[in-house]
Amino acid sequence: MAIVADSSGATEAVKVSRDDAVTTIELNKPERMNALGLDLTSDLAAALRGAAEDDGVRAVVITGAGKAFSTGADLKAIAGPATAGELDTDELLEAYNPVITLIREMPKPVITAVNGPAAGAGASLALAGDLVVAAESAYFLLAFSGIGFVPDSGASLFVPARVGFTRAAEMALLAGRVPADQAAEWGLINYAWPDESFAGNTAELARKLSQGATRAYAGIKRELNTWMYGQLANQLKLEMEIQRDLAKSPDFIEGAKAFLDKRPAKFTGR
């Protein structure tokens, strides 16, 4: 099977390739650990729309270039406005949320192949997939509370839907890493594979889906979305409202300053 470049949605920030009926979308900012800047999210949305509209595509894989899947929001870009109390959280989430909605509403199965750290909104992106697979060296991290923020991009829905309130609260409140093997044991993801077999196993899974009953898969996604994620739009709106409230809070401003200063944050509860 020949792998060919697919120009639909391909940019410097996102690479798109096609192998028969499988489209692979690769986040392509390895020097920034695939941080989700506005350029990357815009390009990712365009690539997802292209895959959704192409009748020849029957399965989609989202993965990351380099050592990370995605470390979430580009904190280097937003820390300055955040410390000045001028961060526009609506602009950020209005970039992230369409990507999440596109993944969930695409009438084709989407595999998120987590090749390295998936943190913050990067974890949200990973957990938006229909099937989530990870290399054993990868981990998942809801890092938001560490800077005085709350989960966004659907994480406040995806995590409890997958692992329940108890583990969702642990991940969100304590902001600790969940290694891939533990994530699989919890049911947060489907598979954790050895690094050396990760790419091959992912390709085989995508090939299997691409040869399956695509319209049935679309129906399955509709059923699961209705039952598990029927409130997704409202939850994304709620996340945005809470982020907007927190954006000017002393604790979030301190969290942003601490990030810039590379020191532990000293929160006061305000």
pLDDT (tens digit per residue) in 144-162: 999 999 999 999 999 999 9
2-11, 33-42, 106-115, 118-127: which range is least confident on average? 2-11
pLDDT (tens digit per residue) in 187-246: 999 999 999 999 999 999 999 999 999 999 999 999 999 999 999 999 999 999 999 999
Encoding tokens for residue 33?
Answer: 């650990």
Helix (H/G/I), strand (E/B), else coil: 267? coil
Helix (H/G/I), strand (E/B), else coil: 163? helix
CB-CB neighbours of 177 under 10 Å: 15
Structure-token match 């809470």, residue found: 242
pLDDT (tens digit per residue) in 151-192: 999 999 999 999 999 999 999 999 999 999 999 999 999 999
| pLDDT at site 85 | 79
Asked if residue 9 lies in contact with residue 50, where contact means CB atoms within 8 angstroms, the answer is yes
Distance CA 87, CA 34 (A): 21
Task: Give me the DSSP letters along 41-78.
Answer: HHHHHHHHHHHHH-TT--EEEEEESTT-SB--S-HHHH
Asked if residue 132 lies in contact with residue 151, where contact means CB atoms within 8 angstroms, the answer is no
